[in-house]
Amino acid sequence: MSVVLITAVFAALLALVLGVALGFFREFFAVEQDPLEARIREALPGANCGACGFPGCDGYARAAASGQAGAGACSVGGRAVAEKIAALLGTSADAAEPAIMVLACQGSGEHAPLKGEYTGVPSCRGAKLSAGGTKLCAWGCLGFGDCAAACKFGALSMGEDGLPRIDREKCTGCKLCAAECPQQLLRETPRGLEGAMPRCSNRSPVKSMVIKTCKRGCIKCELCVKNCPEQCIAMDNGIPRVDYSKCVSCGICVEKCPTKVMKLLVKQENGAVARTA
């Protein structure tokens, strides 16, 4: 009994000594936080997504307070947060243009055949590393939802066709999904941008191979280029590239594309979302 009592007393004294020591060292080595940094941190949404280019909201608050970052780097907070931080910094609210992510692929299970049955790690990155992908199209969406799992805002979900669905209202353009996609299929696009966009990433120059691997693949026919009245489309490494400074959203390229690769972007009209195609 005495051994148990002595052990208990010794443990209690040791805990007391360690507690006092920890408290002393915490106070002795404490780094005083800049009050401005603390106020900036409070103004941020706390997503810690890293889209600003800094390691989380703490990193951005520290950089903004020290003059290493502007007031508008937080794409998640948008204009409202930029104005709050600008007021704290005494600068202008140079908010980044609001963006949204767009999927540059239409290779659903219906349109893009599988190479075979995949039994490996159920992730896009795992399938890419172990089997070079699961579909005949080497450029297509692998469909395991790594992008959806990475999204911190609930803006991405996997559809029944095996492709990710993007909720425009929830998407902040943070690019976390793009960083997780081994196929690099998610593209950052300004929310207010109008015009046509190629929804395909198949760069194979062989038309027959494109048709074999995906019914919604670009077959390099260049009908979009030849029929554009504004001459704002050119082929770039096997994919149509649109000059949005010239595009007027006429939709002719969408009508002429035999595999329905070209799609008109969603317009923003008075803050409301309206699909044009």
Count other C-beta atoms under 10 Å from residue 241's C-beta.
Answer: 12
* Tokens encoding 99: 């963006």
Count other C-beta atoms under 10 Å from residue 170's C-beta.
Answer: 13
DSSP 8-class letter at 34: P
**Tens digit of pLDDT for each residue in 199-244?**
999 999 888 899 999 999 999 999 999 999 999 999 999 999 999 9
**Tens digit of pLDDT for each residue in 251-262?**
999 999 999 999
Beta bridge partners of 197: 263
Q: Is the pTM for the entire model greater than 0.75?
A: no
Q: Give the amino acid at 192.
A: G
- Three-state SS at 249: coil
- Rounded to whole angstroms, how far apart are CA atoms 191 and 206? 34
Q: Give the amino acid at 79.
A: R
Mean pLDDT split into 10-residue runs, the chain, 277 residues: 73 80 67 78 86 84 85 82 87 73 94 92 94 94 96 94 93 91 94 92 91 95 96 94 94 96 69 38
* Tokens encoding 11: 């443990």
- The predicted pLDDT at position 155 comes to 94
**CA-to-CA separations, 133 to 113, 120, 124, 138, 202, in angstroms, rounded:** 12, 11, 8, 7, 14
Phi and psi for 103 in degrees, rounded to 5? -85, 120
Count other C-beta atoms under 10 Å from residue 125's C-beta.
Answer: 15
- Rounded to whole angstroms, how far apart are CA atoms 266 and 193? 8
Q: What is the mean pLDDT of the chain?
A: 86
- The predicted pLDDT at position 65 comes to 86
Domains of the chain: 35-89 (1.10.15.40), 98-191 (3.30.70.20), 193-277 (3.30.70.20)
